[in-house]
A and B are shown apart, each in its own frame.
Chain A
Amino acid sequence: MEDVNAYIESGILELYVLGQLSALEIAEVEAMAAKHPEVKAELSAIEIALETYALENSITTSEELELRILSQFDDEKSTITANPATPEQKIIPLYKGRDEGKIKVLRFSLVACIALLVVSLVALYSVYNRLNLAQDQIATLSRDKQQFATTVSKLQFEKSGMENRIAMVDNAEWTTVKLAGVPKSPEAKMLVFWNKTNKNVLINYAAIELPKTDKAHEYQLWALVDGKPVSLGVFTEVDNAKEAVVQMAAIQKAQAFAVTIEPTGGSINPTMEKMVVMGAI
């Protein structure tokens, strides 16, 4: 019994009512109260005293507050979760309008970009076609120009040959030797010009009509000196010639000139069966 009185007088019951105890101490007080009616009676007395004390110190609530609080319970049987005093925190963007505006601008930009891309692709395709056309035209023009240039150079070549030939005819120093086709090539003919003074020999493409050779062969000019052939050099077909007039090797005396077709580079002795033209002086 003394233990119970000491327990009551320790002040723990007051702290229990004031909600000041740990869970362990609370369990202890509740066990004591269940066991000892005096403890239970003491607790009630403390509670009533503090309750009265609190009621004495009431603060009158306003009618609006009463209405506000009680209106929440009017038709509420269920658990009230939302507390209007501290409403659920909603995140409201600070610059809502700005974001929407941004999105609108971005959307518009995207559409504009796509439109621009399509236009660009069409333009690119058209430019590509035109470029191809222009390249074709350039190729045609350059081909034409090349043909023209070839024609011009051929004409110049022929002209220089013709001029030289005219000069030869007018000049008394030069002897013109006519070489006529042999029976194997009756159409062939050419002229050889021999200077009486310095014994130089010239040929002129403007006055050469010989059968065609292949790539591995060219013409060789021979002088017949006392029955022996002497090479005066080789010359190519007119298509490969660089000059219209070609100076050959000089010869002091000769009775005739002849041309044979020899392998490229010429031969030491003429291949008689390949002789195409011949002419005596």
Chain B
Amino acid sequence: MSLSKKISLTEDELVSALKNRETIAIKALYDMYSGALLGVISRIIVHTEVAEDLLQETFIKIWNSGASYDSSKGRLFTWMMNIARNISIDKLRSKDFKNANKNQDIENNVDFIDEQKKVSFNADTLGLKELVTALKSDYQDVLNMVYFKGYTHVEAAEELNLPLGTVKTRVRMAILELRKKFN
């Protein structure tokens, strides 16, 4: 296939192509959403190589379980996003990944820590930072933890030492602000 020619289909076309196991579906999905999915994966798993492997795993899972997607229950992207997030969280909590992290070479540690502390600027995430500063920080923290960092809302409540109700409210407020901004 040609890399230069980007494919874009409507949601209905995408869903029917995916269910019919037409390869054009996966190509279109990749063109449209690979960046967004990698954005989520990369915020949970900072290792670039591992994150890229997980993106591949995500697309294979999308392809293999396309038949089980039910458009009446939500948008295709939401479904894909949850697949990507679950794969990443599984990896983060897996034994081999934890062990691999423990056994970091000392030479790699500087880069590893830099990445973890986000000292370096990532051109791809500059947009996020700008957007995020526009949000009220209390709301944004909670949403980002749940949406991008792989926390459950219960874990986020414990981490931020907030009541569960407050976390729910803040998530809703953050999304409302996003809706206002995008409209």
The 10 closest A-B pairs by CB, nearest first: A58-B35, A85-B53, A11-B168, A11-B172, A19-B82, A54-B36, A59-B124, A57-B128, A49-B178, A49-B179
Are A80 and B75 in contact, with the CB atoms below 8 A?
no
Min C-beta distance of A69 to chain B, whole Å: 5
B50-68 CB contact bits vs A (8 Å, 1 = yes)? 0011111101100110000
Cα distance A70–B168 in the bound complex, in angstroms: 38
Q: Please determine whether B55 and A57 come into contact, CB atoms closer than 8 angstroms.
A: no
CB distance from A15 to the nearest CB of B (A): 6
Query: Nearest chain A CB to B63's CB is how many angstroms away?
Result: 6
What residues of chain B have their CB less than 8 Å away from a CB belonging to chain A? 1, 3, 21, 23, 26-27, 30, 33-40, 42, 52-57, 59-60, 63-64, 72-75, 77-78, 81-82, 85-86, 122, 124-125, 127-128, 131, 146-148, 152-153, 168-169, 171-172, 175, 178-179, 182
| A141 at interface by CB-CB < 8 Å | no
State whether the Cβ of A65 lies closer than 8 Å to any Cβ in chain B: yes
The CA-CA distance from A31 to B1 in the complex, in Å, is 42
- Asked if residues A49 and B146 are in contact (CB atoms below 8 Å), the reply is no
Taking CB atoms, residues of chain B closer than 8 Å to A19 are 81-82, 85-86
Q: Are B23 and A48 in contact (CB under 8 A)?
A: no
Chain A residue with minimal CB distance to B51?
A: A59
Query: Nearest Cβ in chain B — how far from A42, in angstroms?
Result: 10
Identify the interface centre among B56, B131, B146: most chain A CB within 10 Å of its CB.
B56
| A interface residue numbers (CB < 8 A to B) | 9-12, 14-15, 17-20, 30, 33-34, 43-61, 63, 65-70, 72-77, 79-80, 83-86
Q: Is the beta-carbon distance between A69 and B55 smaller than 8 angstroms?
A: yes
Task: Name A's interface SS.
Answer: helix
Chain B residues within 8 Å of A80, by CB: 60, 63-64
| Residues of B contacting A9 in the complex (Cβ-Cβ under 8 angstroms) | 172
Chain A residue at smallest Cβ distance from B177: A49
Partner of B124, one of A11, A58, A63: A58
**B86/A69 in contact, CB under 8 A:** no
Q: A residues within 8 A CB of B146?
A: 18, 20
Which single residue of chain A is at the shortest CB-CB distance from B59? A69
Residues from chain B with Cβ under 8 Å of A50 in the complex: 78, 81, 147, 175, 178
14 other contacts beyond A45-B179, A63-B3, with CB at 8 A cut-off? A14-B171, A17-B74, A18-B147, A19-B81, A20-B152, A49-B179, A50-B178, A51-B77, A53-B131, A56-B127, A61-B52, A69-B34, A69-B56, A69-B59
**Nearest B residue to A69, CB-CB:** B56
Contact B175 A14 (CB under 8 A): yes
Residues of B within 8 Å of A77, CB to CB, are: 21, 23
Q: Is the CB of A55 within 8 A of B78?
A: no
A33 to B35, CA, bound (A): 30
Once the chains bind, are B30 and A70 in contact (CB under 8 Å)?
yes
Residue of A nearest to B173 (CB): A11
Q: Is the CB of A17 within 8 A of B78?
A: yes
CA distance A44 to B57 in the complex (A): 27
A155 to chain B, nearest CB (A): 104
Residues from chain A with a CB closer than 8 A to the CB of B131 are: 53, 56-57
Can you list 26 A-B pairs, Cβ within 8 angstroms, ordered by A?
Answer: A11-B171, A14-B172, A15-B168, A18-B147, A34-B72, A45-B179, A46-B175, A48-B75, A48-B179, A50-B178, A51-B36, A55-B36, A58-B38, A59-B35, A59-B39, A59-B42, A59-B124, A59-B125, A61-B38, A66-B34, A70-B27, A73-B63, A74-B23, A77-B23, A80-B63, A85-B54
